[in-house]
Amino acid sequence: MSFQIHFDIPIYVLLLLASLSAGLSYLMYRGLEGISRPRRVFLGVLRGASFFFLFLAALNLVTDFIRFESKKRDVFLLLDDSRSMSLTDGSSPRPQVVSEILKSGSLESLRKYFDVKSVLFGAEVAARRGLDSLHYDQPSTNIESALVYASNAVSEERTAFALLISDGDYNSGGNPVDAARAMTFPIYTVGVGDSTQPSDVVVKQVIPAPSMYVGKRTVVKAIVGSNGFGGTKLNIHLLEDGREFDTRSVTLPQQGDLEVSFSYTPSTPGTHLLKVYVPPLQGEFNRRNNSATATAEVKKGKYNVLLIAGEPSSDVAFLRRDIDGSEDFDLSVLVQKTGDSFNEKGTGRILAGKYDAVILYDFPNEQSSATLRDVKNMLGSTGVPYLYLAGNRVSASRLTGFPRFPLVITNLQPEEFHVGISLASPDKIPIALQPVYTLLNANSSLFPPLYYRRIQCRPSAGASTLAFPVISGARIDLPLLIVDPPGRSAAFMAYGLWRLQLMSSLSGLQSDFLRNFLTTFLRTLISGGKQKLLTVQTGRNVYDPSEAVSFSALLVGENGSPVNDANVDVNVVNEASGRNVSDVRLSSTGDGGYSGQVAGLGEGKYVFHARALSGTTFLGADSGTVVVEPLNTEFIQTSMNAPLMRQLAAVSGGKFLTPLEFERHGIDLKSEWKKPVEISLGKRFELLSALPFLALVLLLLSVEWVVRKIWGLP
């Protein structure tokens, strides 16, 4: 151990200050009478030291005290604590193999030369002093996170190497080979397990249809892997919330994957747990991978939308394609032809249907008469939400008195302009319109020019203007996009919407913007302007029983601004028993965000209810569903991934070893690894702010004053 002291002032400056302090002290005490020379020298030293330290404080001297110590180099022992490490290969349980490695003389010899740091990893990484924390129960394996942890834990020059003990079957995180390439020290890998694929049947994945509706038949697919059971015939079962729903008879291939399709027609909306199950076979290596689960979000049904167009046009073609192509909407269309009739047959029947929303494109126009009355009656009597899209035949007279129209039109000019779009100030947008506004805000600057006829108008009572037209670079203070949330109506007064689609590649606008805009707008109108102030969700739909269920929440006020000082409580209830199993208060994370966890939930389906309060004032509520089910992630791949373990060692400059090779021969240690490294431990003092130093100056001045008084000096 050794020490060094560094000053941020050159040594000659310190000598100059010392000389100046001594000179000042000498001048002050050389003419002092009635005192002996030794006493004069003593007082002069006290005064000189006080001057010197005061000079240093005035210059705010910074002093570094550095202590040097010799330390052993570090070796990181990375231990796989995941469930796949609990398997037995032949007569060799993997936990026993790991135990023998940890008790071997080769590992003990490493402790003589190195500071061995144990790191357990699986779904998470945890440093451990002892090895009694190995339980082989983590539901997934993230080798990359273990390598990154070792790389970042201490300074690079202190680490000799890492010793990775694992079966190499990673199933979460990134590719560990990339992390190994970036490491500045080698990785020695010890592969545990048999690299030969055993005889086994595994349900690898359950794939529900992307959209599911009550009463609508869909297909649920499952990927089943097989090895060593070629030609075996068996039944594979689909279960919904624990009840058998469908069965398929299949013949297993000798090796490889088999895709199995089940028929699924949900009868109730909400979150359902779908499980695909294969009965155990005689001679299977592992039966814990004979099932897999997924959740299905079932909706009540698609929204029915009616499009009424005043004329055939390119805009109408794109509207039909984008809305009809959306998975959540069923579209009916009426296109007015020359005169007052429509191209489609059964106009009366179509108008008499029940719709969740109506789109009016360039309707009504001057040719609309008898059908206009029917449409007005439908909109007025049903209160169905509607979106009006202007066209080049817009009629101010026909729109006057239109039910719940969000504009009051006073004049219409025939001249056509090319216009851009300018958004209203964000603080003037109601929270119900935030989804539409956010989408526009991200894309409006990329809009190609649209067509517009200058319409003198103003928003109706209760309506909000989201955007204004821009003509020749100047914003015109007239509504372009207007929404009336209480009236559930909206109007967009520009046309040429096809340009948003065909010219998107030139402007940089996202290719599916028009579809996103229309569907978001329709959902906003259908919701009646209601927007949840509190939104709570879980990190995943399905959790393993060994994991804590994580919740995240977003709380906003009526104006859309974040609320950070509320109490957000989540109540978790077992759906089957109706029993309350846990309550948790979420912690604020800023910007309206809240988070928290619930641990210890057993298998089952749970409903959570969240409430936000400020004192006794109710701010918002939300609810949802989460499923806790044992995951088979760790048992999809059961053989040791020897190629990966070899690659990790090769790209980092290490070596791959079998457990027996490590126990017998250990690691060929480089001589420089065995040499201790010298580390520096420093502490910095700023004299102006260091209390001990200031106390020392005060003490010197006080001692001098007391001594002077004792000796009878002024």
Helix ranges (H only) for 281-369 are 314-324, 347-351
pLDDT at position 676? 84
Distance (Å, rounded) from C-alpha 299 to C-alpha 279?
A: 31
Distance (Å, rounded) from C-alpha 478 to C-alpha 470?
A: 10
Rounded percentage of the chain residues whose pLDDT exceeds 90: 54
Q: What is the pLDDT of residues 394-423, one digit of tens each?
A: 888 888 878 899 998 888 787 889 999 999
Q: Is residue 578's pLDDT more than 80?
A: yes
Instruction: Give the list of residues 6+ apart from residue 595 with CB closer than 8 angstroms, or none.
Output: 550, 551, 552, 553, 586, 587, 589
Strands 489-492 and 481-484: antiparallel
Judged by DSSP in three states, 546 sits in: coil
pLDDT at position 246? 96
Q: What is the pLDDT of residues 16-40, one digit of tens each?
A: 877 877 777 777 777 666 677 777 7
Q: Which two tokens stand for residue 426?
A: 């964000």
CA nearest to 364, candidates 399, 338, 401, 314: 399
Compute CA distances 495 → 282, 394, 403, 498, whole Å.
68, 10, 22, 8
Q: What is the pLDDT of residues 216-257, one digit of tens each?
A: 999 999 999 999 999 999 999 999 999 999 999 999 999 999
Q: What is the pLDDT of residues 338-368, one digit of tens each?
A: 666 777 788 888 888 899 999 999 988 877 7
Report, as an integer, the average pLDDT of 685-712. Answer: 69
Over the chain, what is the mean pLDDT? 87
Instruction: Give the list of residues 6+ apart from residue 533 with CB closer than 8 angstroms, or none.
Output: 431, 555, 556, 557, 558, 612, 619, 620
Judged by DSSP in three states, 257 sits in: strand
The answer to which of 371-375, 406-410, 561-565 has the lowest mean pLDDT is 371-375
User: Quick one: which H or E segment has residue 451?
Assistant: strand 450-459
pLDDT at position 55? 67
Q: Is residue 610's pLDDT more than 90?
A: yes
Instruction: Give the list of residues 6+ apart from residue 658 with CB closer than 8 angstroms, or none.
Output: 190, 191
Q: What is the pLDDT of residues 266-277, one digit of tens each?
A: 999 999 999 999
Distance (Å, rounded) from C-alpha 190 to C-alpha 654?
A: 11
Distance (Å, rounded) from C-alpha 284 to C-alpha 195?
A: 17
The structure's pTM equals: 0.71
Amino acid at 81: D
Q: Is residue 79's pLDDT more than 80?
A: yes
pLDDT at position 617? 92
The answer to which of 100-109, 454-463, 590-599 has the lowest mean pLDDT is 454-463
The angle formed by the CA atoms of residues 595, 599 and 602, to the nearest 5 degrees, is 135
Binned at pLDDT 50, 70 and 90, residue 686 comes out as low
- Burial call 483-493: b when 16+ CB within 10 Å, e when fewer: bbbebbbbbbb
Q: Is residue 84's pLDDT more than 80?
A: yes
**Count of C-beta atoms within a 10 Å radius of residue 190:** 25
Q: What is the pLDDT of residues 480-493, one digit of tens each?
A: 999 988 888 999 99
Q: Is residue 54's pLDDT more than 80?
A: no
Helix ranges (H only) for 325-422 are 347-351, 370-382, 396-399
Instruction: Give the list of residues 6+ apart from residue 376 with CB closer than 8 angstroms, or none.
Output: 402, 403
Distance (Å, rounded) from C-alpha 583 to C-alpha 601?
A: 12
Binned at pLDDT 50, 70 and 90, residue 711 comes out as confident
Q: What share of the chain is helix, strand, coil (3-state, %, to 5)?
A: 30, 35, 35
pLDDT at position 34? 67
Report, as an integer, the average pLDDT of 186-198. Answer: 95
Instruction: Give the list of residues 6+ apart from residue 651 with CB closer than 8 angstroms, or none.
Output: 177, 180, 181
CA nearest to 114, candidates 672, 666, 670, 674: 674
Residue-range domains of the chain with CATH: 2-68+683-710 (no CATH), 73-194+639-674 (3.40.50.410), 200-299 (2.60.40.10), 303-526 (3.40.50.880), 534-628 (2.60.40.1930)
- The answer to whether 586 and 594 have CB atoms below 8 angstroms apart is yes
The answer to which of 124-138, 309-323, 592-606 has the lowest mean pLDDT is 124-138
Report, as an integer, the average pLDDT of 457-462. Answer: 87
- The answer to whether 550 and 624 have CB atoms below 8 angstroms apart is no
Alpha carbon 215 to its chain's center: 34
